[in-house]
Structure 1
């Protein structure tokens, strides 16, 4: 299975260890993984700010870099959702459609395509799971708590059987952290207040780590935690899953 590894620009620049963990994890799970060197931003920040018409270059570059793979895998639900809903090219629309159907968020790919429902390992810490809005409400990686429907969570499914990992049940399981991409810039005060509320829920449950599938959300929470001089750390789920085999 030939995989094109799609790494968000903020992960590439600020959290390269998340990209490395994703690469190594997919290899351990039996995938043939490639990292296209010419990839850049998928265009999500521009589109979220009302400038989707300026993302044509991003779309063309994405198509040029990720054509030819069986699947495209990314450790970011928000970037995956953007590509799934917005990747277009007037000259190569058939190809763009094919790529939109091939791109998957990491935990979605592991559970739905590789058909792996649990990973054995050891992570002896108390962990809170932050559910990102794009992953939950856009990609349907987990059930929304306001719906009267059976619960499921693809990320949690991969963490349940981890030896030593104490996965807490938060009071507000799917509350937004306030990051929201460019929202945290244009509405800084509201964004920070939402982040503080999110962290308070984790703090009240005594977690050692906050994990999640979107490093952008974790980056927002990490900044607030550091300013508070909190001992709580953030860690991407790929890092937890990859550390298990070491």
Structure 2
């Protein structure tokens, strides 16, 4: 029986758009392979998380209002992003932004449609394995704070990765501990942030892994910077890039 085509709006976060565009393209590749009709609104910008976390609530509200306007189409059934951090912002922080707004009802309707990429695959599309993908090597998975604590994502990404041909998935110590990025935290508390990245990378290296994988490019960017500066041999990779590999 043919799979029903699902209409999806994609939200491409700032980090992906500016630094890792291939991750966004690979997400589209995977979604389309599953029969999704993928839409992209070129007017989209930021979710407002940097401003919100820094305490600039008026500026965050302005960006949130634009996001709401950009993604309030009745055509798409879902909004999917390759970032649990941004999804957590829209799902959770927007509740504070719109709680006394005339747009609350409009926001509530949109809120139900927003999913992180792997969460969409497992919880909406019912995809718990992706054997088309192949990547040779050993990998360990980093639970981003936003994925784990804001979105409740843990088992889904692991199930998908365990199905990738040629990939051995191993758990590192303290896999639920923060990598140290935290957006502006990495700027305000640089030494603490670097120390946390060091611990995360060392835990990953202790497993003998070739790759650190995650749902969030922001975490991976932070870890990659430490890895490159210290000339470590391990690599970072977003799960969308893994699932798009080998086919």
Q: Does 1:171 align with 2:173?
A: yes
In structure 2, the gaps of 5 or more residues are: 1-5
1:137 deviation in Å?
1.0
Q: Does 1:135 align with 2:117?
A: no
* Cα distance in 2 between the residues matched to 1:157 and 1:51: 38
3-state SS of 1:165 partner: strand
Residue matched to 1:118: 129
Instruction: Give distance in 2, aligned partners of 1:8 and 1:140.
Output: 20
Note the 1:227-242 alignment, pairs <5 A.
227-242=229-244
Q: Secondary structure at the match of 2:80?
A: strand
- Report how far residue 54 of structure 1 moved: 1.9
Give yes or no for the alignment of 1:7 onto 2:9.
no
Partners of 1:235 and 1:99 in 2: CA distance: 30
Structure 2 residue aligned with 1:63: 68
Pick from 80, 92, 95 the counterpart of residue 87 of structure 2. Answer: 80
Deviation at 1:158, TM superposition (A): 0.6
Q: 1:181 aligns with which of 180, 183, 188?
A: 183
Following the alignment from structure 1 to structure 2, what is the Cα–Cα distance between the partners of residues 46 and 131?
Answer: 24
Give 1:53 shift. 2.7
Correspondences of 1:101-112 after superposition (within 5 Å): 101-112=112-123
Partner of 2:3: none
Q: CA shift at 1:173, angstroms?
A: 2.0
Shift of 1:92: 2.3
Q: Report the counterpart of residue 145 of structure 1 in structure 2.
A: none
> Could you state the TM-score of these two structures normalised by the residue count of structure 2?
0.92
Matches of 2:169 and 2:52 in 1, distance apart? Answer: 35
**Secondary structure of the corresponding residue to residue 91 of structure 1:** coil
Q: Partner of 1:50 in structure 2?
A: 55
Using the TM superposition, give the Cα deviation of residue 86 of structure 1 relative to its aligned residue in structure 2, in angstroms: 2.6
More strand by share: 2
Q: Secondary structure at the match of 1:128?
A: strand
